[in-house]
Amino acid sequence: MPRFAANLSMLYNDLDFLDRFEAAARDGFQAVEYLFPYDFASEQLARRLQDNGLQQVLFNAPPGDWNAGERGLACIPGREAEFAQGMERAIAYARALGCPRIHVMAGLKPEGASDDALRATYIANVRHAARLAAPHGIAILLEPINGRDMPGFFLSRQDQAHALLTDIAEPNVQVQMDLYHCQIVEGDLAMKIRQYLPTGRVGHLQIAGVPERHEPDVGEVNYPYLFRLLDQLGYDGWIGCEYRPARGAAAHATSEGLGWMKEWL
């Protein structure tokens, strides 16, 4: 039976962020994820998790200057020290929140940098992150992101991510397989799941309707079929609900759009 985690960066956006934990628990979620925890003290977030009986299953490492358009540092030559400092901060938060996974965003390809330099920098940075995280039982996740939503992102395909895993060669590095991004870039989702899930290298899944990134029962993807396939393959990890409610920030928009999830709870 699929286990769903509410992405609090996108869901319940009619509420203040700290109030979204209670709303998610009330709707039947047992776990949460979100982009970044760093605007809040880890003690605040841990208290919300505990008070609402929720697990923290994922968040992102610091991405650089998000408001200026940066989307990760891992592939960018010359930013290694900043990347390492960000990883230390992320690991401290993960330990405080009992979070077993950190997504390391690859970053946008800088103009003029060679593909070989970007790849070498990425491999070295992720390897360093994995070695920092391993003593604490924390996995480092790599996520391919489609170039329509994030033009110029270094990592966009499943085969690219799995090839990088081989070169990074650290046992606590896995792929974050977002089926929304995968459908846009590659399609053939069922076959991709059958190909990669049995390898043990997929550490987390995420979903959203395609193409609008609304609820998973809106759009071109037959998610009930894919959920049954995941059950058949024995996937017992979390599935992050990283979508924008079709009714936006209207009151109760998230809760009223959860009909798709009822049969799986």
* Residues annotated catalytic, as ranges: 143, 242
- Check: CB of residue 149 under 8 Å from CB of residue 178: no
β-pairing, 139-142 with 173-178?
parallel
CA separation for the pair 211, 34 (Å, rounded): 21
Nearest of 247, 200, 241, 201 to residue 223 by alpha carbon: 241
**Residues forming a β-bridge with 33:** 7, 58
Nearest of 7, 10, 9 to residue 33 by alpha carbon: 7
- Sort 209 into a burial class: Cβ within 10 Å, 0-12 / 13-18 / 19+: buried
Nearest of 215, 218, 143, 151 to residue 182 by alpha carbon: 143
- Check: CB of residue 230 under 8 Å from CB of residue 193: yes
Task: Name the 3-class secondary structure at 138.
Answer: coil
